[in-house]
Amino acid sequence: MALASIGGWKLAALRYAIRGQRGIHLDNRCFKISDEVREAIHSRKPVVALESTIYTHGFPYPDNVALASHLESTVRVHGGVPATIGVIDGIARVGMGTEELVRLAASAGKDTTLKLSRRDLGFICGMGLSGKTRSGGTTVAGTMLLAHLAGIKVFATGGLGGVHRGGESSLDISADLTELGRTPIAVVSSGCKSFLDIPRTLEYLETQGVGVATFADGRKGHTNFPAFWTRESRVSSPAVVHDEKEAAAMIYAQRSLSITSGLLFANPIPAEHSIPLKQMDGVIATAIREAEQRGATGKDNTPFILRKIKELTSGQSLPANRALIESNVIRGTRVAVELSRLEI
C-alpha cells in the first residue's frame, strides 16, 4: 500500500512504530536512555540489560544497593556495558546513574513503589505526565520491552516468572512468558523456581515460539532445565548449549532469520551454592499454602512467595540467590561479547 493512501493518523502511527523498532534514536518524555548506554549501542559494544524488580521487590535496602552496584561492576569487569532498567519518577530509564539507582533501591518495600510488567508501563508513565510521579522496578517482561526499545539484545537476571501451579484454571501465567514470545531479547536466567509449574512453563514457552537452551552440565549426560536454587528440576531442557559462543550463535541465527520472538538461556546455579530440591519442596509447599490463605494472588503472588521462602530458609536462600545472579550476569556478558564479535 502506498504511504500516500494511508490516512494521516495511520501514517503517524506507522512512523511511530518504525521509530520504535529502530529504538536507539528514541528518547521522549516517557523514555530516556543514559548517555553511556546510548554511546555503547551506537558503537556496537556489548550491552547487558539488568532488571530492577529484584531491587524493589526482592532484596531489602541497603543490600539491594550493594547488589546493584556489584552486578554493574561485574558486567564491566567482563567487558560489557551495564544497562539497569526501571522507572524513576514516571520516566522509564535504560541505564541509570548512581544517584538514580540508590533512589530506586531505597524505595524498596514502599506501597508507592510499583512492580512493573508490560501492562503497567503506560499507567506509571502516563501518571508521571499527569504530575503523579512514582517509581518502580521492571520485571523481566517490563525490562525486555524497554531494553528492546533501546536496541539491546542480551539481558541477565535471576529467576523468570512462569505458569503458576493451578495456572490451568487460575490463568496465572507470568507476562514474562508472552513477552519472550513477542520480543527479540535473549534472557539469561537460572530457570524458574519450583513453586511454579515447570513442565507447563516449558509447554507455554514452546507455544509462544521461545527457544529454550540450558548451559550443559559438564558432569552429566543429560541436562535438566534448572529450578533456580537447584540444578535439577526432573524436567529435561528442550535444547542444550555448551558455551557462550554457541549461545551467541543462536541469537545471531534468530536475527538472521528475522525471528521476532525471544530466547531463554538457562544457567544452572553454581553447584557449591545449590540447595537440594527435596529440601526446598517442603518450604515451597508451606509458602504456597500461606499465599492461598492470605489471598496473595495476581501480581502479589510471586513477591509474597519469595518473601515467605526467604523467611522459611532463614536467609539461606539469599546468598544462593546472589551467587546465581552473579553467575548469570557473567554468562550474559560473555554471550553479549561473543555476539558483538559475530556482528563485526
Is residue 336 within 8 A of residue 153, CB to CB? The reply is yes
Sole binder of ligand PSU in the list 58, 136, 151, 332 (CB under 6 A):
58
Provide the 10 A C-beta neighbour count for residue 341: 12
Q: Please, how many CA atoms are within 13 Å of residue 261, restricted to the half-sphere of its CB?
A: 15
- Name residue 111's amino acid: D
Active site residue 308: no
Provide the 10 A C-beta neighbour count for residue 254: 18
**Cell match 526446598: residue?**
280
Asked whether position 174 contacts ligand PSU by CB under 6 A, the answer is yes
Query: Which residues from 67-106 bind ligand PSU, rule CB under 6 A?
Result: none
Is residue 234 within 8 A of residue 191, CB to CB? The reply is no
Query: Which residues from 276-335 bind ligand PSU, rule CB under 6 A?
Result: 299, 302, 306
Asked whether position 262 contacts ligand PSU by CB under 6 A, the answer is no
Distance CA 283, CA 239 (A): 30
Asked whether position 54 contacts ligand PSU by CB under 6 A, the answer is yes
Sole binder of ligand PSU in the list 90, 95, 158, 191 (CB under 6 A):
158
Instruction: Mark the segment that binds ligand PSU (CB under 6 A) among 20-28, 48-56, 246-254, 324-332.
Output: 48-56
Asked whether position 204 contacts ligand PSU by CB under 6 A, the answer is no
Q: Does an H or E element contain 211, and which?
A: strand 211-215
Sole binder of ligand PSU in the list 159, 191, 211, 262 (CB under 6 A):
159
Sole binder of ligand PSU in the list 161, 262, 268, 332 (CB under 6 A):
161
DSSP 93: E
- Name residue 139's amino acid: T
128: Cβ–Cβ under 8 A, 6 or more apart, which residues?
30, 89, 90, 91, 134
User: 233 touches which of ligand PSU, Mn ion, none (CB within 5 to 8 A by kind)?
Assistant: none
Q: How far is the CB of 240 from ligand PSU (least distance, A)?
A: 22
Asked whether position 201 contacts ligand PSU by CB under 6 A, the answer is no
Provide the 10 A C-beta neighbour count for residue 167: 17
Active site residue 51: yes
User: To 10 degrees, the CA torsion angle through 103, 105, 109, 112?
Assistant: 40
End-to-end Cα spacing for the chain: 35
Sole binder of ligand PSU in the list 193, 322, 331, 334 (CB under 6 A):
193
**Cell match 503458576: residue?**
164
Asked whether position 172 contacts Mn ion by CB under 5 A, the answer is yes
Q: How far is the CB of 143 from Mn ion (least distance, A)?
A: 16
Instruction: Mark the segment that binds ligand PSU (CB under 6 A) among 52-60, 61-69, 232-240, 272-280.
Output: 52-60
Residues of this chain that interact with ligand PSU (CB under 6 A) are 51, 53-54, 58, 117, 139-140, 158-159, 161, 174-176, 193, 228, 299, 302, 306
Return the active site residues.
Answer: 51, 193
